[in-house]
């Protein structure tokens, strides 16, 4: 019983950390229409990210990674017994593709992408931890 409490606590903390990046991007997007300083900062970061980290090549790589991740997780979802982590991973990958499509409509576009990358990577890490724990 005690071990189960720690596992639940770890899962809750892990989920909060995982989705905090998306929450921060939503807050920045909301504030971009309310505060001029936030709008300027996001415009500056959008230009900076577009020329450094999120070039056309890296956006295409992200498309491929999100699609391959979604397809791979769907295959594991069909075969596996534990479905919740894979459903979350599939949804995160598909949301990553959606955010890649919303390039011009969002002020905090690159922060949403960074948040989705963090969610997907942490979800894969969580699935890997569950697999390692299950094998012991």
Q: What is the pLDDT of residue 65?
A: 92
Distance, CA of 54 to chain centre: 15
Contacts with 42 (C-beta within 8 Å, 6 or more apart), sequence order: 28, 32, 107, 108, 111
Distance CA 74, CA 89 (A): 9
Rounded to two decimals, the pTM is 0.84
Write out pLDDT tens, residues 86-112: 888 888 888 888 878 877 678 888 898
The predicted model gives 116-128 an average pLDDT of 87
Residue ranges of alpha helices (H) inside 33-108 are 36-51, 56-79, 84-101
Distance CA 93, CA 79 (A): 19
């Amino acid at each position: 019983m005690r071990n189960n409490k720690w596992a639940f606590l770890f899962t809750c903390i892990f989920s909060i950390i995982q989705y905090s990046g998306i929450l921060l991007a939503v807050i920045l997007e909301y504030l971009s229409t309310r505060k001029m300083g936030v709008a300027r900062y996001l415009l500056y970061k959008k230009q900076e990210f577009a020329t450094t980290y999120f070039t056309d090549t890296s956006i295409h790589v992200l498309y491929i990674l999100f699609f391959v991740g979604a397809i791979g997780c769907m295959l594991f979802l069909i075969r596996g017994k534990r479905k919740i982590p894979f459903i979350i991973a599939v949804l995160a990958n598909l949301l990553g593709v959606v955010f890649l499509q919303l390039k011009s409509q969002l002020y905090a576009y690159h922060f949403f992408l960074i948040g989705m990358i963090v969610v997907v990577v942490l979800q894969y890490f969580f699935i890997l931890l569950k697999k390692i724990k299950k094998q012991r």
